[in-house]
Amino acid sequence: MANDDTKDTGTAAGGNGAAGGESEPSIQVLVQYLKDFSFENPNAPMVLQDQAVQPQISVSVNVNATPLGEDMQDFEVDLMIEAKAEANDSAVFAIELHYGGVFSFRNIPPENLQPVVLIEGPRLLFPFARQIISDATRNGGFPPLMLDPIDFARLYQDRVMQPEAEAES
């Protein structure tokens, strides 16, 4: 009976990258890092004293990916987030964040590689970028800016549809 349990455990391990599971698609985060970051609080301390007016916050997100080898399996994914807050026609704060990661995408069919890289890469990076932005706004004297989750699949679809829409018009 113990031998059967060992075989089951070996089979499960095989599905995680051991011999026999090498053809299964996988994503591995090799490294992630803060590439560039800026927090501006241009009207401090006056803006910190008058927080009665709720600022208008705009957020923009962009994703880029760069292959890091000829085998097209390792990619640098760059998640760029900009957030600006204004109140009474005056800047409250501005954030620019470039958060990057290097990923290994193995056994992904070539026709699926671009969407997987541009959807799953930033999806894995986003929680860390979100935390950096939250901490920076709090440390800047404001309530933490907690970004809503981002639908990177929709962002990718919009990106793919943009050249088609421009070609039609």
Q: Please classify residue 63 by burial: count the beta carbons closer than 10 Å to its beta carbon, then call 0-12 exposed, 13-18 middle and 19+ buried.
A: buried
DSSP string, 40-54: E-TTTTHHHH---SP
Give the pTM: 0.79
Distance between CA atoms of residues 143 and 161, nearest Å: 36
Give me the CATH code for the 25-168 domain, please.
3.10.420.10
Model pLDDT for residues 103-159, shown as the tens digit of each residue: 999 999 999 999 999 999 999 999 999 999 999 999 998 999 999 999 999 999 998
Model pLDDT for residues 65-78, shown as the tens digit of each residue: 999 988 889 999 99
pLDDT of residue 167: 63
